[in-house]
Structure 1
C-alpha cells in the first residue's frame, strides 16, 4: 500500500469515527442521484479531508456550519483547480448534515430576510398567475426588483410606501451610467412590472410604473443578422464530435436550425412532447403557449440517437446535464456555449461581435424569405403573436421591395 492510499484510508476511518452513519448515508444519497463512481469517490475524499482537519483542530461535529467549513477547506491546501470543487462538496455535505439535525444550524433569518422572502413569494405568484410569465422571466423580474431594494434600503427591511420617483431615477442612472455601459435593456421593463405590483397590492399609494421611461431601441436601419444556408450547415456539422455531449448538443442545435426555436424552448422540451407516430413535437413557447410543429426527419433521428446512447436521468425533460445527478438545465446558457465552440471549430466568423443563440432562428427566417416564402408562412413557423414582429424580415425580400419602390425622380421630376 502506497503512502497516498494509506492517507486516504486513514481519512475515511476518521470520517466514519467523526460523522458515524452519516458518511454511508451521504454515499447512498450520491449513488441514488446517479453520481458516477469516480465522482462519489471524489466526494468521499473531500469528506475525509474535512474530518481529518476537524480532528486535528479539535472541532466537534456539533460546531460545524458553512462559515466554519469554508475556513477549514481553505487551510487544506487544495490546488487552485480543485479548491472550488472541495468547497462545493464540503458545503453540500454540511447541508446534508443540517437536514438531518446534525451540526450548528444557520442563524435565524433577519427582519430584512423575512420581509424580502415574503415579498418575493407574493410577487412571483403574481407574475406566474396573473401575468403568465416564464420562470426565467420571473427570475429576471425579481432580480431587478431586489437590486433596486438593495440600492434604496441597504441592510434595512425598508418601507415600500416611502419609495419615490426620484429613487427610481437615481437607481436607473446608477445602473445604466456605469462603464462599460449595461447591455441589458430589460431593467426598465422589469422595474415597471414591480412597481405596478406594489401599486396593485397597496404597498405604495402611487403608480410609479407610469414614470419609468422606456429604453430607446433604434431598430429602424438594422437588418437581421444571419448566416447563409450553407454557413448554417457548416455550423451544425461542427457540433458533431466524439465527446459524450456531442449527440445531445447536435440534437439541440438542429432544433434551433430546422424549427427556429428559441433557446429556452429547446431546454423546456419534455420526452412526452414528442409524438413519434404523428411525427410532431409540442413546443412550450412564450406566455405559456403550446404549439405543435412537424418534426423533421434529421432532427428526430438526432434525438433518438441521443436518447439511446447518452441520456441517463429520471427527469422527463428531454435534454439534461451530462454530469450527475443529470438534472435539466436551469437556463439556455449551454446553447450559447455550444455555438461559441462550433463557430471556433468551423472557422466561421459570427456576423456580430458576440455569439447570439437567436442567430439560427434569424437565419432560418431570412433564408426562407429569400427563397420566396411569404411573411405569413414565416410568422407561423416562428410562432409570432404579431405579424409586426415578422415585418423585420421583409427588409431581406429585395425582389419584393423592388416591386413597390417608386422610380427615382429624373431631372426636373422632383419639385
Structure 2
C-alpha cells in the first residue's frame, strides 16, 4: 500500500473504532498530507512502514520554523496517532515519533464578550432581510446553549424538546447530551421556523436540519464564522471573534453568576473538568469580588 491507502485505512479506524468527529479526522489527515508533501518535495521515497526517526525529525524541524508551538503540538499528536495505529495493525513494531518531544504550550485563555457586546451583535442583525431571523436564532442558540459550531450546523428539528426545556446535541465523537434551552432562545427559533424556514424549498435529505441556507441546505461551519465576523465588523468590535467566542462567553457568564463548574462541564460536553477550567476565563475584578463577598477575613 502507498501513503494514501494507509491514510484511508487510518481514517476508517478513527471513525469506526475511535468514534472521532469528522473535524478531528480531517485535521489528522491534513497533518499526514503535510508529511507526504515534504517527502515528495525532497525526493524521499519511503513508505509509512519503512520511514525512520531521522526523516520524521527533519520534517518536524522544517515545520517548526513556520508554525507556533500549539500548531506543532497538534501535528505531533496526529503523527503519533497514525504510527500507533500502524503498530496496532502490525504494520510496524516501533513509533518513529517516540523520541520527539512535544513543545510546551501554556494554557490559552479564551476571548470572551460582555453581555453588552453580545446584545450589540444581535441588534446589528438586519431583520428586514430574509436571513435576519435565522441569524438572530443562530447567535442566540450559540450563546444561549454554549454549542460548538459543528453542533449548531448539525442541529435537527427532531432534536428540539421545547416542552421539556432541552435540546439534544451531538458532540465530539457523536456523543449526545441534553442541554437546557431558555424560553427566549426557543422563541427566536420558533420565529425563524415559522416565518422563514417554512417558506424555503428544502433540499432532499435536509428536511430535518434546523438552520438552512437560501438553497434549503445545511449551513457550513464557514458560513457561521462569516455571519459572526460580519456582525463584529458592523459594530466595530475590536476583538477577533468566532462562534467559539460565544461558547466561551456562555460558560464565563454562567460561572460569574454563580453556576458550579460541574454543571457547566455537563452543558459544554467536556469529558474532563480540567478542560472546562481551561475554557473558563475569569478577570481579576471578578476574583476580587469573590474574595470580598465570601472570605471570612474580608474586612
Same fold, TM exceeding 0.5?
yes
Q: CA deviation at 1:281?
A: 0.9
Ranges in structure 1 where 5+ consecutive residues have no aligned partner: 1-113, 408-415
Structure 2 CA distance for partners of 1:361 and 1:394, relative to 1, 3 Å: closer
Q: CA deviation at 1:181?
A: 5.3
Query: Are 1:120 and 1:142, in contact at CA under 8 Å, matched by a contact in 2?
Result: yes
Q: Distance in 1 between matches of 2:68 and 2:179?
A: 40
Give runs of aligned pairs for residues 42-121 of structure 1, distance below 5 A.
115-121=2-8
Query: Are 2:21 and 2:173, in contact at CA under 8 Å, matched by a contact in 1?
Result: yes
Structure 2 CA distance for partners of 1:394 and 1:126, relative to 1, 3 Å: same
Q: Mean Cα displacement is larger for which, 184-193 or 255-264?
A: 184-193
Match of 1:321 among 213, 224, 239: 213
Query: Are 1:234 and 1:346, in contact at CA under 8 Å, matched by a contact in 2?
Result: yes
Aligned partner of 1:280 in structure 2 is 166
Does the alignment pair 1:174 with 2:62?
yes
What does the per-residue CA deviation read over 1:186-224, in whole Å, with 9 as the maximum and x for residues that have no partner? 2122112111112222333312343343232212xx644
Aligned partner of 1:125 in structure 2 is 12
Aligned partner of 1:211 in structure 2 is 99
Structure 2 CA distance for partners of 1:312 and 1:210, relative to 1, 3 Å: farther
Q: Distance in 2 between matches of 1:337 and 1:184?
A: 23
After superposition, the CA RMSD in angstroms is 2.8
What does the per-residue CA deviation read over 1:239-265, in whole Å, with 9 as the maximum and x for residues that have no partner? 343333222222221111111111111
Q: CA deviation at 1:137?
A: 1.1
Ranges in structure 2 where 5+ consecutive residues have no aligned partner: none
TM-score of the two chains, using structure 2 as the length reference: 0.83
Q: Distance in 1 between matches of 2:142 and 2:238?
A: 19
TM-score of the two chains, using structure 1 as the length reference: 0.62
Does the alignment pair 1:400 with 2:286?
no
Query: Are 1:280 and 1:295, in contact at CA under 8 Å, matched by a contact in 2?
Result: yes
Q: CA deviation at 1:147?
A: 1.7
Match of 1:266 among 152, 167, 174: 152
Query: Are 2:111 and 2:241, in contact at CA under 8 Å, matched by a contact in 1?
Result: no
Aligned partner of 1:143 in structure 2 is 30
Q: CA deviation at 1:143?
A: 1.4
Match of 1:383 among 269, 281, 285: 269
Q: Distance in 1 between matches of 2:264 and 2:245?
A: 15
**How many residue pairs were aligned?**
285
What does the per-residue CA deviation read over 1:216-241, in whole Å, with 9 as the maximum and x for residues that have no partner? 2212xx64421111221111222343
